[in-house]
Structure 1
Amino acid sequence: MSVDKIFPATKAVIVPGNGGGSVEYCNWYGWTRKALNKIPNFQCYLRDMPDPMTARESIWLPFMESELQCDERTVIIGHSSGAAAAMRYAETHKVYAIILVSAYTSDLGDDNERESGYFNRSWQWEKIKSNCKHIIQFGSTDDPFLPWSEQQEVVDKLGAVLHKYQDRGHFQNTQFHELVSAVQDLLQESQ
């Protein structure tokens, strides 16, 4: 019996990007939570994060562990800063999958990003891969905040299944059908 059969995914946790207000009404987060909660025997969680402006790793990762209870049955859906948090979390925790939306690898020369703590050391790509059964990435070449080279680096280093677009910017739309489909596909694989 495979590990996937022993530990199927039972929940998703949406980890938002930094800088937003109430995440329920920000971007596609609330819409996606509602769509995923329609899946039988599956639950999607979305919570306002502590320290929402800087998104410090030292605050977000313990919150993901203790409050959101991300574990080997969890699909972590991380957007922007949330994607950085998902990758750092997966360096030291087993999770069912990470779905990275607008992922990047450096502080982009930004003081707030530098202060978050995610980019002050090398990424542990092999540990991330060994702690995740599945890695999916959504990226867009016209992202106004992230160079494509950094998004491509994440794909290359993690061997992520890439959903590449030219017209989605930073994925700040209000619905995200392709993401819901990606989660549904993962769940079908785990049955």
Structure 2
Amino acid sequence: MQHIVIIPGNGSGDVTRANWYGWAKRKFDQLPDVTCDLRNMPDPVVARESIWIPFMRDDMRCGEETIIVGHSSGAEAAMRFAEKYPVKGIIVVSACVSDLGDANERASGYYSRPWEWEKIKANTQFRVQFGSTDDPFIPWSEQEQVANGLGSDLHKYDDKGHFMNTAFPQLIDVVKKKLNT
């Protein structure tokens, strides 16, 4: 059984009704021999690394056969998780490397130290990234730093903003390919 975990961006409310998360979970659940986990995260507004990483490990059971799909703050959680633990792969959407001067982002803890790119690479079979040059929150230069650090398979767009649509068919296509490798 393949295991996919969707880690949302920070915020409040039901994640199954936010952005493309619930739509993607339903699509993944329709695939043979796949389970998908999507949950309202603890500490959803600040998204503290000290709370999210143990929750991903212990409650969501992220492990060596897991594909972690992380959006925004969830992308940073996916990368920090892969610094510590082996996973099948990570797919990051609207990822960045700094707190961008935002106090709430700084409080999350993800940006308090250098990124350990080599550890992430060693702990993943693949790294895929979705980014858009017109993202209103994440400058393209930040997304490029993630791509360079991860050595990711970068899917670059100029019209997807912060990937907050209700559907994300490109994600499903990429995951299907990675499930078959």
Whether these two folds match at TM > 0.5 is: yes
Q: Does 1:68 align with 2:60?
A: yes
Q: Give the match for residue 126 of structure 2.
A: 134
The CA distance in 1 between the partners of 2:150 and 2:32, in whole Å, is 30
1:11-160 mapped onto 2 (5 Å cutoff): 11-160=3-152
Residues of 2 paired with 1:54 and 1:47: CA distance? 16
Alignment check: 8 A CA contact 1:20 1:26 kept: no
Write the distance in 2 (CA, Å) between the matches of 1:63 and 1:97: 18
The count of corresponding residues between Structure 1 and Structure 2 is 181
Deviation, structure 1 residue 157: 1.1
What's the C-alpha RMSD, in Å, of the aligned pairs? 0.7
CA distance in 2, matches of 1:187, 1:79: 19
Percent of pairs with identical residues: 56
**Structure 2 unaligned blocks of 5 or more:** none
How many Å separate the matches in 2 of 1:157 and 1:30? 29
Q: Which runs of 4+ in 1 moved over 3 A?
A: none
Q: C-alpha distance in 2, partners of 1:10/1:160? A: 21
TM-score (norm 1): 0.94
In the superposition, the TM-score normalised over structure 2's length comes to: 0.99
- What whole-Å deviation, never above 9, does each CA across 1:168-187 have from its counterpart, x for those lacking one? 00000000000000000001
**How big is the shift at 1:125?**
0.4
The letter of the residue matching 2:110 is: Y
Structure 1 CA distance, aligned partners of 2:12 and 2:156?
Answer: 24
Structure 1, residues 116-156: CA drift from partner, whole Å, max 9, x if none? 00001000000000000010000000000000001011111
Q: 2: distance between equivalents of 1:91 and 1:34?
A: 29
